[in-house]
Amino acid sequence: MSDEPRDPPKTLAGTLRGSWQRFLDVYEPLRPEIYRYCRYLTRSSWDAEDLVQDVLARAFVTLGCLAQDVPNPRAWLFRVASNLWIDRMRKTREVPGDVPEAVEAREPRATREAAGTLIARLSPQERAAVVLKDAFDLSLEEIAETLSTSTGTVKSALHRGRGKLAAPEAPDVEAQVPAPAVLDAFCAAFNARDVDRLASLLLDTSTAEIVGINVEYGPEAARRGSFWGALQPLAWNDELDCGIADHLLVGYKPSPPRAELRRHRGESIVLFWHAQDDGEVVRDVGRAEIVGDRIARWRNYFFSPEVVAEICGELAVPFRTNGHRYWRATT
């Protein structure tokens, strides 16, 4: 047995982060297409981004266990996404044709794509088969491999799914829910740079995440000023021990961002406006899970360009996306 001490957690985390970043460097070109697939499946930009993150995490772990290279990374990621989503739907016992009320409330007909509206009627396997065939033009054999089934089953799923899509759909109405007071308080405290007030809005068990980048825990992280990920101008991040990549600073005027509460698809979200040479633009979107009058979970989508583009496009506000990473590619 070796007498060498084990790597401390910080060293291990740094090693894993380096491997994770190299993995993302290789697979990043496929992310927009995987996001688009997940968006069709989930019918929500938020849920699509969650599924993409789960797909990448599962793929990262699985890749470390494979004895050979992945021959077709695109098809492989489609398969990982399909399996994760179908398993998730089975666990939640989704009834074909029955869309949960919470999803309907934030998906008004006026702003969502018609295909996404109709496709919610389909069972998980039917939905995946129709999207892979009609949106991505995969062959029956490729779809069968992706869904771990036979071409005969794929043909049946496509036939049933397309039959359901041809039927008329009943209209839905966006629910009008007042904005939570805690988000008004959040914007006021954020714009005042009042870290103590921000921390007071959190549950003791709260978490905050820059999606795909890092996660922090509890009010003390907020008091350090890094919890929200955007309290200060873009600069060196001591928590991640990283510098800001050059592409993030093009045309950027270093000043603290401004938080603004907005309504999007029946839900209250926060837009973060950053000063640029040609005026203010939204570069980040924030979303909260609220318990009572406190924030239980906070998520920033600074490095989720598909989400930022979709949200800001529907709100008709100027925006700039930041890519998927802050580090320079190593490949």
Is residue 196's pLDDT more than 90? no
| 31-63 as b/e: b if 16+ CB within 10 A | beebbbbbbbbbbbbbbbbbbbebbbeebeeeb
Residues 16 and 148 in one domain: yes
**Count: domains in the chain:** 2
Same domain, yes or no, for 191 and 102?
no
Considering only CA atoms, give the Rg of the chain.
21
**Is residue 269 domain-resident?**
yes
Query: Is it the case that residue 184 has pLDDT exceeding 70?
Result: yes
**What is the reported pLDDT for 117?**
53
Q: Which residue has the higher pLDDT, 54 or 226?
A: 54
pTM of the full structure: 0.76
CATH number for 144: 1.20.140.160
Measured between alpha carbons, how far is 257 from 150 in angstroms, rounded to an integer? 52
Same structural domain for residues 66 and 129?
Answer: yes
pLDDT for 55-91, tens place per residue?
A: 999 888 887 777 677 778 888 899 999 999 998 888 7
Asked if residue 49 and residue 135 are part of one domain, the reply reads: yes
pLDDT above 60: residue 308: yes
205 lies in the same domain as 158: no
- Residue 326 in any domain: the answer is no
Average pLDDT over residues 106-121: 49
Residue 240 above 60 pLDDT? no
pLDDT of residue 96: 44
Q: Which range of residues forms the domain containing residue 232?
A: 181-315
| Mean pLDDT for the stretch of residues 216-223 | 79
Task: Check residue 255 and give its pLDDT.
Answer: 82
Segment 127-168, tens digit of pLDDT: 888 888 888 888 898 888 888 888 888 888 888 888 777 655
Is 329 contained in some domain? no
Residue 95, class by beta-carbon neighbours within 10 Å (0-12 exposed, 13-18 middle, 19+ buried)?
exposed
Where residue 103 falls among pLDDT bands split at 50, 70, 90? very low
Do 196 and 295 have their domain in common?
A: yes
pLDDT at 262: 95
Residue 159 lies in a domain: yes
Quick count: other Cβ atoms within 10 Å of Cβ 204?
9
Q: Of 104-113, 186-195, 203-212, 304-313, where does mean pLDDT reach its minimum?
A: 104-113
Answer yes or no: do 197 and 158 share one domain.
no
Q: Among 304, 255, 310, which residue's Cα sits nearest to residue 277?
A: 255
Q: Please check whether residues 149 and 215 belong to one and the same domain.
A: no
> What's the average model confidence in pLDDT over 197-224?
84
